[in-house]
Amino acid sequence: MNDYPDRPLIGVGVVVFKGDRVLLVRRGKPPRRGQWSLPGGRQRLGETVRAAAAREVAEEAGLTIEVTALLDVVDSMTRDEDGSLAYHYTLVDFLAEWRAGVAAAGGDAAEVAWADPDHLAPYDLWDETLRVIALARP
């Protein structure tokens, strides 16, 4: 189902590190179904963006995290085959550290992986995702 929004929706993305590995999720629902990305999703009414980041990681990967820093704000726009804007998200991307839990797919995620940030090519990530991960690295 496409949103065909009348305004951008606010979402969060989270670059979660556990040691030298970064958490990735394979999307189980549109937009980007089947694609690897950062964990994240829509902010709920009355929820802070930091709380949304922690909730989304818990729902999609079963992990408890500590949100440590704001990384960037990214626009994600997806057009349908006719060129109409099907999705428009303003994504607030955070850096976070793993605190507890074993990564397991849940919620909107079909699969999860702890990836080596130096070898992300097999995941075929969106350019903006690669850029935000690079921003998060020391």
Tens digits of residue pLDDT in 32-75: 889 999 999 999 999 999 999 999 999 999 999 999 999 999 99
Structure tokens at 10: 């606010």
- Does the model's pTM come out above 0.75? yes
Cα–Cα distance measured from residue 106 to residue 95, given in angstroms and rounded to the nearest whole number: 21
Rounded to whole angstroms, how far apart are CA atoms 19 and 3? Answer: 37
Pairing of strands 9-18, 85-100: parallel
pLDDT per position as a tens digit, 83-138: 999 889 999 999 999 999 999 999 889 999 999 999 999 999 999 999 999 999 97
Find the mean pLDDT for residues 4-24.
94
44 contacts 89 by C-beta, under 8 angstroms: no
* Catalytic residue set: 111
Token pair of 3, please? 């949103």
Strand-pair category, 64-79 with 40-42: unpaired
CATH topology of domain 9-136: Nucleoside Triphosphate Pyrophosphohydrolase (3.90.79)
Amino acid at 103: A
How is the chain split into domains, by residue range?
9-136
Number of Cβ within a 10 Å radius of residue 10: 16
What confidence score (pLDDT) does residue 1 get?
44
Inter-residue contact 79 to 131 (CB < 8 Å): no
Reported as a single tens digit per residue, the pLDDT across 18-44 is: 999 999 999 998 778 899 999 999 999
Reference 93, options 138, 118, 130; nearest CA is: 130
